């Protein structure tokens, strides 16, 4: 490979193949097709691209989440030899198919069922879905342990920490440092952000990402979700996980040790780097990302995040009070609020306001009376939070 020539062919599945991470994953696979065999690809409703990808990779199975799109996908892949399926259950079963390496890149809570299926059979899971850990961190980590699975973080920040974290010295870690670009509104005033439009929020200064994560970057909710994700992945309490704004997006995150050493992972802002790391792990493979040129790099700067202008960060830290309860509500209500913002139903500041209101409403209603924290509990709480968030978004939309 680019990986060693004598290395066995790796069978892979890409859950969420038509999204940004999925497309980048396929870019890497297609650069060295002799070393990879594609078991399954899944998409939400982009039938045309999914069918094109399945033909390109000769995937054994292609699954679309929208049942109404089944006939179109079947027609598009007629004669290809690729098995076709549709619906949420089929998406979940795609995770159960016999791929040794699974890219988990389905955005949102919908990505959890196939990840749990992959974990149960002991797959190596490249995790690009924040919400699975945020909503069901304990459940997912338990499933990984029970199934003998391997979880490799693909988010650039967590992948950086993974690379810098010396297993033999884990007990000597002082703190983790998650870096944040600050998004498109890093220097905007509160007044300017109040009128920010979706096209402005989607224009990230450094990264090329999908719509939902781009808005999360603009609100810095993505960093709040990553805080909770790091809590589960690396086993450190929230007060030992620091967030710092680094506008150049060159240092992706750092690990500080008790002797004063700080290890950092650097690279250009290209998701193919962490994907390649996870795809070749425990080895390495050549990647196409632009290389850093330290002779022309210039200054690397850092600044503290402003929780007054970006209240999502404070909400995420508060959610760590009960990681099996509040993060579920926070994630679900944020997904609905972002969706409403993209449809011009609410303003940019109202995204965080909706999340805060739903946290308060459901938190008071439930009052920690729920002692059972299984997958049914998570689904029920997620549904309740979405319903409450939709109600609030619709009521605010009427006033706009």
Cβ-contact 32, 2 below 8 angstroms: yes
The DSSP 8-state label assigned to residue 173 in this structure reads E
Among 62-66, 75-79, 205-209, whose mean pLDDT is lowest? 205-209
Helix H or strand E segment including 379: helix 375-399
- What does the pLDDT read at residue 400? 62
- Which two structure tokens, joined as six digits, stand for 262? 């700080």
Mean pLDDT over 241-260 rounds to 96
- Give the global pTM: 0.90
Mean pLDDT over 121-134 rounds to 92
Comparing 370 with 90, which gets the higher pLDDT? 90
Cβ-contact 274, 155 below 8 angstroms: yes
Where are the domains positioned within the chain?
10-154
- What does the pLDDT read at residue 166? 86
Pairing of strands 173-180, 251-257: antiparallel
Residue in this structure with the two tokens 């810098």, named with its chain if needed: 164
* DSSP per residue, 327-344: HHHHHHHHHHHHHHHHTT
CATH of 10-154, one of 3.40.1190.20, 3.40.630.10, 3.40.50.720, 3.40.190.10: 3.40.50.720
Is the peptide bond between 275 and the residue preceding it cis, with omega within 30 degrees of 0?
A: no
- What does the pLDDT read at residue 363? 83
Residues 141-189: tens digit of each pLDDT: 999 999 999 999 999 999 999 999 988 888 999 999 999 999 999 999 9
Mean pLDDT over 386-390 rounds to 97
- What does the pLDDT read at residue 1? 41
Alpha-helix runs per DSSP H in 202-325:
211-219, 221-234, 272-280, 312-319
Mean pLDDT over 194-220 rounds to 89
């Amino acid at each position: 490979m680019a990986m060693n020539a004598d290395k066995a062919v790796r069978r892979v599945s890409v859950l969420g193949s038509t999204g940004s991470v999925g497309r980048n994953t396929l870019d890497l696979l297609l650069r060295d097709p002799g070393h990879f065999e594609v078991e399954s690809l899944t998409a939400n409703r982009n039938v045309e691209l999914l069918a094109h990808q399945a033909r390109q990779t000769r995937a054994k199975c292609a699954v679309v989440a929208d049942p109404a799109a089944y006939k179109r996908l079947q027609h598009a892949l007629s004669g290809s030899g690729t098995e076709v399926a549709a619906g949420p259950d089929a998406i979940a079963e795609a995770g159960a198919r016999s791929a040794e390496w699974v890219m988990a890149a389905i955005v949102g809570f919908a990505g959890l069922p196939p990840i749990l299926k992959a974990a149960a059979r002991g797959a190596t899971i490249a995790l690009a879905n924040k919400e699975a850990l945020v909503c069901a961190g304990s459940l997912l980590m338990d499933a990984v342990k029970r199934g003998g699975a391997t979880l490799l973080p693909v988010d650039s920040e967590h992948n950086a920490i993974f690379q810098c974290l010396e297993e033999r010295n884990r007990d000597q870690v002082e703190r983790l440092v998650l870096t944040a670009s600050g998004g498109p509104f890093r220097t905007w005033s509160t007044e300017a952000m109040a009128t920010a439009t979706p096209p402005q929020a989607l224009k990230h200064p450094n990264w090329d990402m999908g719509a939902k994560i781009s808005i999360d970057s603009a609100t810095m909710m993505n960093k709040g979700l990553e805080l909770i994700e790091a809590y589960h992945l690396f086993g450190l309490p929230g007060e030992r996980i620091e967030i710092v704004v680094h506008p150049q997006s060159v240092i992706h995150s750092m690990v500080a040790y008790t002797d004063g050493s700080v290890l950092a992972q650097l690279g250009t802002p290209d998701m193919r780097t962490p994907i390649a790391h996870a795809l070749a792990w425990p080895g390495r493979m050549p990647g196409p990302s632009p290389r850093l040129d330290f002779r022309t790099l210039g200054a690397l700067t850092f600044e503290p995040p402003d929780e007054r202008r970006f209240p999502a960060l404070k909400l995420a830290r508060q959610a760590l009070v009960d990681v099996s309860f509040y993060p579920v509500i926070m994630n679900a209500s944020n997904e609905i609020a972002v969706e409403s913002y993209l449809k011009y139903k609410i303003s940019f500041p109202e995204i965080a306001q909706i999340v805060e209101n739903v946290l308060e409403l459901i938190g008071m209603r439930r009052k920690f009376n729920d002692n059972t924290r299984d997958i049914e509990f998570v689904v029920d709480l997620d549904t309740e939070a979405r319903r409450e968030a939709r109600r609030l978004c619709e009521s605010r939309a009427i006033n706009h």
